[in-house]
Amino acid sequence: MENNTTPKPIRCKAAVSRAPGEPLRIEEVVVAPPRAYEVRIKIVCTSVCHTDVTFWRMKGFPAVLPQIYGHEAVGVVESVGDHVEEVVVGDVVVPSFLAQCGDCGDCESEGSNMCGKLPYKPVGMPRDGTTRFTDAEGAVVHGFLGGASSFSEYTVADIAHVVKVDPAIPPEKACLLSCGVSTGVGAAWKVAKVEAGSTVAIFGLGAVGLAVAEGARLRGAGRIIGVDLNPAKFEIGKRLGITDFINPKELGEKPVSEAILEITGGGADYCFECIGLASLMADAFRSSRNGSGKTIILGVEMQGSPIMLDSSEILRGKCVMGSLFGGIKPKTDIPILVKRYLNKELKLDEFITHEMGLHDINKAFDLLIEGKSLRCIIWMDR
């Protein structure tokens, strides 16, 4: 007799991308049971991140379509595959686009958050490269970022990409820690290690840039300068620790770096580039203090342009650092951020600007692209 406890395929709704840049389609998909080292998750809510938009717009990789995007989410474990011991059915979890296997040298190292056993890959399950999704006709639908694919009511993720969290945290707040907010807070906390009383400059005040401000505030930064073309960001930023605001449009011919050098009396101790433009990366570098200034790059260069830096400035003691996921080790550090929120230390409410159901997901994309939202929470039960 068949074991009635064996997980079965599940039919559910998902937002599927079938052509680059075209509206996502709400379709019925079939989600296979989890295999060994995998977990099937009932998604409670998700949100749209700029990474989702970047992959959705790509035209150079037609072989991965159709695909289900989404990776910033929270859900409940519905079933588990063989060899899964750290979570059980009913646990509240968030997916992570970076793995933490816990066994490799990188995972055991304090200096890296890049798993050497299961390296970052945008498409397919990390251990076998296959998918757990098919459409209503049985055709393959590709997964995303370790199996996150959170624009679906159910998804299957590798256990190395799953983080158990305290169920006391509201779902919409836990969702934020799955990617964007952790990336920004972590950059200030884990990568830059911002020192108390120091000066910070942040180029770009989207969700990640504002999360950098929050991380710098938590680290005790004395002055936090926000650089953005949208003056409305300053009001939000003030609640997250920003003390000064620079709008490049209001400087005339003066470079932003010159304005920051004047404000800080020689340059910021830490400069964060959160947009993804080589020109801004160079400007951030020029804005940092001689002798010890650190420039932390969080944005992927959106036009593929190289960064042009003056080597004489590097010789003066400045450095450039890369930051993927803010240096966060998912299973180790996300629970710490959850605890800091529950202890009323970490601010998360300010990042949620809109809420809607899955059927409105294309509106959520539009709001993010137009710069009208920080994070739009998409509830699966609405």
256-264 and 278-286 helices, crossing angle to 10°:
30
| Residues 158/101, Cβ–Cβ less than 8 Å | no
Q: Is the pLDDT of residue 174 over 50?
A: yes
pLDDT of residue 169: 98
pLDDT of residue 6: 83
pLDDT of residue 146: 79
207-218 and 232-239 helices, crossing angle to 10°:
30
Percent of the chain with pLDDT over 90: 87
Mean pLDDT, residues 60-76? 86
Confidence of residue 3 (pLDDT cuts 50, 70, 90): very low
Contacts of 272 (CB under 8 A, 6+ apart): 187, 188, 192, 200, 201, 202, 203, 209, 212, 284, 295, 296, 298
pLDDT of residue 152: 98
Q: Is the pLDDT of residue 1 over 70?
A: no
Confidence of residue 61 (pLDDT cuts 50, 70, 90): low
Mean pLDDT, residues 158-181? 97
pLDDT of residue 2: 44
User: Of 141, 148, 152, 147, which Cα lies nearest the Cα of 127?
Assistant: 147
What does the pLDDT look like over 307-338, one tens digit per residue?
889 888 899 999 999 999 999 999 999 999 99
Q: Is the pLDDT of residue 63 over 90?
A: no
Residue that wins the pLDDT comparison between 304 and 33:
33
pLDDT of residue 60: 60
Mean pLDDT, residues 336-343? 98
Mean pLDDT, residues 243-256? 95
pLDDT of residue 313: 87
Residue where the block lists tokens 């997901």: 361
In the sheet where 10-16 sits, what is the strand order? 10-16, 25-31, 133-135, 140-141
Q: Is the pLDDT of residue 295 over 80?
A: yes
Average pLDDT, the chain: 94
pLDDT of residue 92: 98
| Residues 203/343, Cβ–Cβ less than 8 Å | no
